[in-house]
Amino acid sequence: MAMALETRFHVLAVDDSLIDRMLIERLLKTSSFNVTTVDSATKALKFLGLVEDEFRTFESSVASQIHQDVDVNLIITDYCMPGMTGYDLLRKIKESKSLKNIPVVIMSSENVPSRINRCLDEGAEEFFLKPVQQADVNKLKPHLMKSRTKEENEQPLNNKRKDMEEIYSPNKTRLRCSS
């Protein structure tokens, strides 16, 4: 049972519409994803621990602690929301060193080609038209697998680099054998 939970992907769903949040949450859970929903891009940034200076409050430190415990594998966000748009959220995530590899999917009820192209050019993996369908959710798995593979490939490289630094560090003193 514990092994099955480890392989489940965690999706952060962001939408200001309660009905749309409930729909996307149900579709994602039907596909065996763990889901966290928030109603604004600002709350998503807080959840991810990425908070602007003007928003730094006690809540942001709590968000950072939450993010350390919960690994988000994909973010799906509405494009048009009050305050910060889904496009703005996408840009902040892609500008972040720690979050830039998380796949982001944008969804919108408006079919505006320039908006779709702008989001895809900025790094969105997909752009779904609302209402989101189960077929759309099925398109998420390859993006999740690609990001997981990227993480796994980077981790051994970092470990190898660290090992090499330890071996060849000038601060290390090597024992010499005397004959």
Q: Which of 40-44, 126-130, 139-143 has the lowest mean pLDDT?
A: 139-143
CATH of 10-51+69-147, one of 2.102.10.10, 3.30.70.980, 1.10.3080.10, 3.40.50.2300: 3.40.50.2300
> Tell me, what's the pLDDT at 145?
82
The answer to whether the beta carbons of residues 60 and 54 sit under 8 Å apart is: no
When the pLDDT of each residue in the chain is averaged and rounded to a whole number, the result is 79
CA distances from 146 to 44, 62, 73, 103, 125 (A): 23, 30, 10, 9, 11
Strand partners, 39: none
Per-residue pLDDT of 66-116, as tens digits, reads 444 568 999 999 999 999 999 999 999 999 998 999 999 999 999 999 999
Task: Show me where the domains of the chain are located.
Answer: 10-51+69-147
